[in-house]
Amino acid sequence: MAAADGGRGGCWFPALALGVSLLKCLLIPSYHSTDFEVHRNWLAITHNLPVSQWYYEATSEWTLDYPPFFAWFEYALSHVAKYFDQEMLVIQNLNYSSPATVFFQRLSVIFTDILFVYAVHECCRCVNGKQAGKDILEKPMFVLAVLLLWNFGLLIIDHIHFQYNGFLFGLMLLSVARIFQKRHLEGAFLFAVLLHFKHIYIYVAPAYGVYLLRSYCFTANMADGSLKWSSFSFLRITLLGLIICLVSALSLGPFAVLGQLPQVISRLFPFKRGLCHAYWAPNFWALYNAVDKTLAFAGLKYKFLDPEKIPKASMTGGLVQEFQHTVLPSVTPLATLICTFISILPSVFCLWFKPQGPRGFLRCLILCSLSSFMFGWHVHEKAILLAILPLSLLSVESPKYAGIYLILTTTGHFSLFPLLFTPPEIPVKILLMLLFTVYCFSSLRALFRKAGPLLNWLETIYLIHLVPLEIFCEIVFPLTAWKLKFPFIPLLLTSVYCALGIIYAWLKLYISVLTEFYPPLKVFV
């Protein structure tokens, strides 16, 4: 049993957790993004204003746009922050970043990561992978712990760029672990709480909803594995409903009483922000936008388009939030919603008709997160971690998923490079990425040494070409005359190239799941 192995090798997990915590402390003085000011402003808002004004305050452009539980989280932090530097809690102190403020906010991320560490420990107990060798370094539990605790993307996003994703992913992974442990009500409760901390996790809600309904509310199957309708438990669905209602009432109730729910919703879902973020996330819409730009350039060159009728930002500003398509039809929020719904439908269908236990749920969760990343509205590049982290659990159990994980992780992490653009952070991100990637390849190859190569030659060539792409973007391009006229080219190349790899990994994972659901499909793949 995995848990037994964890007991015998108990000393290694605290060492891994302590080691990564020390690394996080070393990153305290590093560059931080505007997200640092976002959270400082939220500390000030929640500390100084009554609840009725939290979602109306707009002194800063970085208004409160997370669900109420996160607002209360900031409120709790603010009462510790006042002992470090009172000035950070002044709403009018825009872009305030004293050494004490930086130290407190960095420390708050490191401290709240305790939940993530605990969640990783619980996930490691759920691993059933083959034991590749007697050495603890080759045990699936150990490999999984490193892949999660030392995840490159989470390190740079939280502890350089600055966010609280570790704490939030801790809630998600702990919820997944509870599902694996058949503690369904705890899993449902944790996920409901998570949704009211950060609503981006609604992307994976279909996996939770379908699995809990199919495998918890229905208590038995027919001999052929099909659903036994008479086994439906009204008690269980009532308990699930109560959990959802109570958590939602605790979160949204005060704002409902104040008549402010429409205001809260408008802050949480700001559709006016545009299809893409300032830097295109490497998804389907990045390719769509790139094709539109290419057609526009060709149209201008061959005089098919009138230069006066082309939006200026579309052709000179590069990657902007309000991207107006020139040749291809512009995309609406409804169109992205329909595309996302269609793309997750097969995975949900498989989960309902052939649940395959908690691992079937985990596959559906990953596909839901990837599908939403592919087709969602105003997707951030950081959202790729929503698929990478849970896929880590499958990667140590099967060579098939290990190969997909290597492609998705390497490409997805590389796509985060543009977030760290200051010169001092360039060697740091390259070194951390190299160390993590080398470990991923070597440890997973050691786990599945009898299974043959994890990647085929085409996949290997694709990943190798990330190296010259980085050299061009960081070294060659700044020396060219294009830097002034087309400053967006490095972002465009990174986004488009990474989009190809992520879409490929998504399709490969989908094909794998569908062939397991319907074996005759293997004839065609």
In tens, the pLDDT along 136-152 reads 778 899 999 999 999 99
- Gap between the Cα atoms of 226 and 8, Å rounded: 40
The C-alpha atoms of residue 371 and residue 505 are separated, in whole angstroms, by 11
User: Taking residues 198-209, what's their average pLDDT?
Assistant: 95
Contacts of 179 (CB under 8 A, 6+ apart): 187, 211, 358, 361
Mean pLDDT, range 126-134, rounded to an integer: 64
Write the Ramachandran bin of 486: left for phi over 0, alpha for psi from -120 to 50, otherwise beta. Answer: beta
Position 307 scores a pLDDT of: 67
Query: 128: pLDDT confidence band, cut at 50, 70 and 90?
Result: confident
pLDDT of amino acid 319: 45
pLDDT at 222: 74
What is the model's pLDDT at position 414? 96
Q: What tokens were used for 354?
A: 């052939």
Residue 330 has pLDDT above 50, yes or no: yes
CA distance 62 to 394: 37
Task: Find tokens 């707009």 and name the residue.
Answer: 58
Q: What percent of the chain has pLDDT over 90?
A: 70
Mean pLDDT of 408-423: 93
Q: How confident is the model at residue 423 (pLDDT cuts 50, 70, 90)?
A: confident
Distance CA 72, CA 51 (A): 9
In the predicted model, what is the mean pLDDT of residues 341-346?
95
Ranking 183-192, 324-333, 391-400, 404-413 by mean pLDDT, the lowest is 324-333
Alpha carbon distance 81, 44 (integer Å): 10
- So what's the pLDDT on residue 106? 97
pLDDT of residue 320: 44
467 membership: H or E segment, kind and range: helix 466-471
In the predicted structure, residue 524 carries a pLDDT above the cut 80: no
The residue with greater pLDDT, 198 or 422, is 198
- Mean pLDDT on 336-342: 94
Of 19-33, 134-148, 232-246, 380-394, the least confident: 134-148
Note the Cα 144 to chain centre separation in Å.
17
Distance in angstroms (rounded) separating the CA atoms of residues 520 and 370: 25
> For residue range 70-113, what is the model confidence (pLDDT) as tens digits?
999 999 999 999 999 999 999 999 999 999 999 999 999 999 99
More confident residue, 29 or 277: 29
In this prediction, what percent of the chain has a pLDDT beyond 70? 89
Check: CB of residue 314 under 8 Å from CB of residue 294: no
3-state secondary structure of 454: coil
- CB atoms inside a 10 Å sphere around CB 520: 7
List Cα–Cα distances, 111 to 105, 121, 469, in angstroms. 10, 16, 36
At 6 the pLDDT is 45
Smallest Cα–Cα separation from 16: which of 156, 108, 124?
Answer: 124
User: Which backbone phi and psi does 227 adopt, to 5 degrees?
Assistant: -70, 135
User: Distance between CA atoms of 96 and 323, rounded to whole angstroms?
Assistant: 31
